[in-house]
Amino acid sequence: MPTKYTDDMLQQIPDATGHFGEFGGRFVSETLMPSLLQLEEQYNTLKHDPEFQEEFYRDLADYVGRPSPLYFAERLTDKVGGAKIYLKREDLNHTGAHKVNNTIGQALLAKHLGKPRIIAETGAGQHGVATATVAARLGLECTVFMGAEDVQRQAQNVYRMKLLGATVVPVESGTRTLKDAMNEAMRDWVTNVDNTFYIIGTVAGPHPYPMLVRDFQTVIGKEAKQQCLDKEGRLPDALVACVGGGSNAIGLFYPFIGDDSVKMYGVEAAGHGLESGEHAAPLCAGEPGVLHGNRTYLMSDNNGQISATHSVSAGLDYPGVGPEHSWLKDEGRAEYVAITDDEALDAFRTLTRVEGIIPALESSHAIAYGMKLAKQMDKDQIIIVNLSGRGDKDMHTIAEIDGITV
């Protein structure tokens, strides 16, 4: 049976008003609407501009170091004793995570729109660092909003951003994590909309952000597909990626949506366990609602107040998720699962010891589920796990858990 997800169909996702089925859209205060419409128009032009695309791919090659390898994790595969596990090595990118693919793209947009000032929100600090990096490279002024709790647990990234010349603003309101950083970035943007470009770090926010961040991140999946064909002569059986807002996951999944044989698993943070209520798993345990400019699965209480979330990894500690994932979930095209803090920490240690690769705590969630999944599959089957970032930034957190002061 031919796939339902033809290129023609996927062209309509999102539709002209930014909707992925019943999700997505543009739920913002009026002040931002004209800027979003302008950004959409500009992006739709540049998307088809060969020069823009060439510049983007040149930067990805020469500055980021792409393509990132697709690495066969042989010892991990042997240890698990199931499907072959490949790792897509986004941890080897300049600045240490997939985030930079997107900031390169959006900084080019900012340049084309002539905006001299850039703002961003960040959780783990990876997106903040990736934004500060491209801002330094283009000589743009840069302010990064970061929840005060995250400023503490990701102190090293805060320092990196400052070295790169960015101003880091700790956000004390609300739960003092990623969602509050995003609120504050929106507040800044509303105030300085004339001269400021907001580089959103994931496939969330109002249209056109979920679409354009996805487009920039699909380089991950395009490469992985070709690399898998080159190495194995066929497509993988399953893809696994962690989901905070969902940008590394959609980047890997997107080029495979029309390949019905390829299963897709998005891994959310189960924190202390889904039943504890202390987690960050809106797709597994939330309901549709509206936050930060789009309609999507959310964690909120009976009164519609956004819930506090918990995850050991700051980058997954977010109560919403990109609207395209909500669509993929309801379509049944992707499956969403959750991994607890403890399981992620175990996977972190396993990968470090077995493969000599120290993964980010976010990515460790994907590793943990990838190992579970591989065990249930045959030895001749293939899984690609997106290793979205490296764990250098998490040394402090891990050491603290181990009771060590570094």
Partner 1 sequence: MSRIKAVMSQLKSDGKSALIPYITGGDPVPGLTVELMHELVNAGADIIELGIPFSDPMADGPVIQLACERALEHNVSLDDILSMVSGFRETNTSTPVVLMGYLNPIVKMGYGLFASKAAGAGVDGVLVVDLPPEEGHQLLVEMRNNNLDSVYLIAPTTTDDRIKAICDASSGYVYYVSVKGVTGSASLDVASVAAKLAVIRNKSDIPVGVGFGIKDAESAAAVAKVADGVIVGSVLVNTIASNIDNHAAIKAKMYNIVSSMRQAMDA
Ligand X SMILES: Cc1ncc(COP(=O)(O)O)c(C=O)c1O
Q: Is 405 in the site for partner 1 (CB under 8 A)?
A: no
225 is catalytic: no
Q: Which of 289, 342, 352, 381 binds partner 1 (CB under 8 A)?
A: 289
Return d(Cα 286, Cα 336) in angstroms, integer: 12
- Distance from C-alpha of 310 to C-alpha of 204, rounded to nearest angstrom: 19
Query: In 10 A of CB 16, how many CB atoms?
Result: 9
Which of 286, 362, 364, 359 is CA-nearest to residue 325? 286
d(CA 373, CA 323): 25
User: Does the active-site annotation cover 84?
Assistant: no
- Main-chain dihedrals φ then ψ at residue 133, nearest 5 degrees: -65, -50
Of 35, 326, 388, 393, which is the active-site residue?
388
- Contact positions with ligand X (CB under 6 A) in 331-370: 360, 362-363
| CB 119 within 8 Å of CB 189 | yes
Residue 196 is encoded by which pair of tokens? 């400021």
Binding mask 136-165 for ligand X (x = CB under 6 A): ------------------------------
Residue 26, contacted partner among ligand X, partner 1, none, CB below 5-8 A by kind = partner 1
Site string for ligand X, 52-91 (x = CB under 6 A): ----------------------------------------
| Binding of ligand X by 242 (CB under 6 A) | yes
Secondary-structure breakdown of the chain: helix, strand, coil percentages, each rounded to the nearest 5: 50, 20, 30
Give the total of residues touching partner 1 (CB under 8 A). 38
Q: How far apart are the first and last CA of the chain?
A: 57
Site string for partner 1, 9-48 (x = CB under 8 A): --------x-------xxxxxxxxxxx-------------
Coil vs helix vs strand at 225: helix
Q: Which is nearer to partner 1, 195 or 226 (CB)?
A: 195
The dihedrals phi and psi of 375, each to the nearest 5 degrees, come to: -60, -35
Which of 24, 205, 236, 246 binds ligand X (CB under 6 A)? It is 246
Which residue among the candidates 35, 40, 88, 121 is catalytic per the annotation?
Answer: 121
Task: List CB contacts of 161: < 8 A, sequence separation 6 or more.
Answer: 125, 128, 129, 132, 144, 168
Q: Which is nearer to ligand X, 133 or 363 (CB)?
A: 363
388 is catalytic: yes
Residue among 218, 290, 342, 354 that touches partner 1 (CB under 8 A):
290
- Residue 222 in tokens: 């395009």
Tell me the C-alpha distance between 277 and 302, whole Å: 14
Q: What Rg do the C-alpha atoms of the chain give, in angstroms? A: 19
Of the candidates 247, 296, 300, 311, which one interacts with ligand X according to CB under 6 A? 247
Q: Which sequence positions are flagged as catalytic?
A: 99, 121, 388
Residues within the interface to ligand X (CB under 6 A) = 97, 99, 123-124, 126-127, 202, 242-249, 315-316, 360, 362-363, 388-389
Residues that bind partner 1 (CB under 8 A): 17, 25-35, 173-174, 179-180, 183, 186-187, 190-194, 288-293, 295, 298, 300, 302-306
